[in-house]
Amino acid sequence: MNLHFLWYLGLLQVLCKCTFIAEGLGWNWGTRASHPLPPDIVVQLLKDNGFNKVKLFEAEPAALKALGNSGIQVMLGIPNEFLAPLAGSVRAAEDWVQQNVSSFVSANGVDIRYVAVGNEPFLSAYKNTFSGVTFPALKNIQAALIKAGLARQVKVTVPLNADVYQSASNLPSGGDFRSDIRTLMVSIIKFLSDNGGPLTINIYPFLSLYADPDFPIDFAFFPNSTTSPPSHPLVDGSITYTNVFEANYDTLIWALEKNGFPSLPVIVGEVGWPTDGDPNANLINARRFNQGLIDRIVQNKGTPKRPSPAPEVYLFGLIDEDVKSIMPGNFERHWGVFYYDGTIKYNLNLGRGRTLKPAKGVKYLARQWCVLSPDASLVDPNLVPSVNYACTYADCTSLGYGSSCGGLDARSNASYAFNMYYQWANQQKGSCEFHNLGVTTKIDPSQGSCRFEIMIDVGKHESRRSPGTTNSSSLAATPLSYPVMILCLLISVIWKITAIHTYAG
CA distance 500 to 505: 8
Three-state DSSP class for residue 60:
coil
Residues 6+ apart with CB under 8 A from 350: 21, 22, 49, 50, 294, 298, 356
Tell which residue, 12, 1, 6, has the closest CA to residue 491.
Answer: 12
270 is catalytic: yes
Residues 6+ apart with CB under 8 A from 71: 47, 52, 111, 478, 479, 480, 481
Q: Is the distance from CB of 174 to CB of 255 less than 8 angstroms? A: no
Tell which residue, 400, 436, 437, 395, has the closest CA to residue 415.
Answer: 437
Tell which residue, 402, 377, 399, 404, has the closest CA to residue 388.
Answer: 399
Determine which helix (DSSP H) or strand (DSSP E) holds 194, and give its type and residue range: helix 182-194
Task: Determine which one of 94, 246, 270, 321 is catalytic.
Answer: 270
Q: Is the distance from CB of 425 to CB of 456 less than 8 angstroms? A: no
* Cis status of the peptide bond prior to 317, with omega within 30 of 0: yes
Pairing, β 369-372 against β 165-167: unpaired
Q: Is the distance from CB of 252 to CB of 311 less than 8 angstroms? A: no
The residue type found at 66 is A
Largest CA distance in the chain: 91
The residue type found at 90 is V
Task: Give me the torsion for CA of 26, 31, 36, 42, rounded to 10°.
Answer: 20
The residue type found at 148 is A
Counting beta carbons within 10 angstroms of the beta carbon of residue 340, is it exposed (0 to 12), middle (13 to 18) or buried (19 or more)?
buried
Q: Is the distance from CB of 50 to CB of 352 less than 8 angstroms? A: no
Task: Determine which one of 94, 120, 312, 332 is catalytic.
Answer: 120
120 is catalytic: yes
CA distance 111 to 70: 8
CA 100 to chain centre: 20
Buried b (16+ CB within 10 A) or exposed e, 457-475: bbeebeeeeeeeeebebbe
HEC sequence for 430-469: CCCCCCCCEEEECCCCCECCECCCCCECHHHHHCCCCCCC
Three-state DSSP class for residue 264:
coil
Q: List, by residue number, the catalytic residues.
A: 120, 270
